[in-house]
Chains A and B, each alone.
Chain A
Amino acid sequence: QKEVEQNSGPLSVPEGAIASLNCTYSDRVSQSFFWYRQYSGKSPELIMSIYSNGDKEDGRFTAQLNKASQYVSLLIRDSQPSDSATYLCAAFSGGGADGLTFGKGTHLIIQP
Chain B
Amino acid sequence: GAVVSQHPSRVICKSGTSVKIECRSLDFQATTMFWYRQFPKQSLMLMATSNEGSKATYEQGVEKDKFLINHASLTLSTLTVTSAHPEDSSFYICSARRDRDQPQHFGDGTRLSIL
CB-based contact B43/A92 at 8 Å: no
- Shortest CB distance B59–A (Å): 9
Interface majority SS on A: helix, strand, loop or mixed? Answer: loop
Nearest residue (CB) in B for A44 is B106
For B100, list chain A residues within 8 Å (CB): 92, 94, 98
* Range class of the B interface residue count: 20 to 34
Count of chain A residues with a beta carbon within 8 Å of a chain B beta carbon: 23
CB-based contact A92/B101 at 8 Å: yes
- Shortest CB distance B66–A (Å): 20
Which of A51, A99, A104 touches B101 (beta carbons < 8 Å)? A51
For B51, list chain A residues within 8 Å (CB): 98
For A104, list chain B residues within 8 Å (CB): 42-43
Roughly how many angstroms separate A90 CA and B49 CA in the complex, as a whole number?
A: 16
Nearest residue (CB) in B for A34 is B103
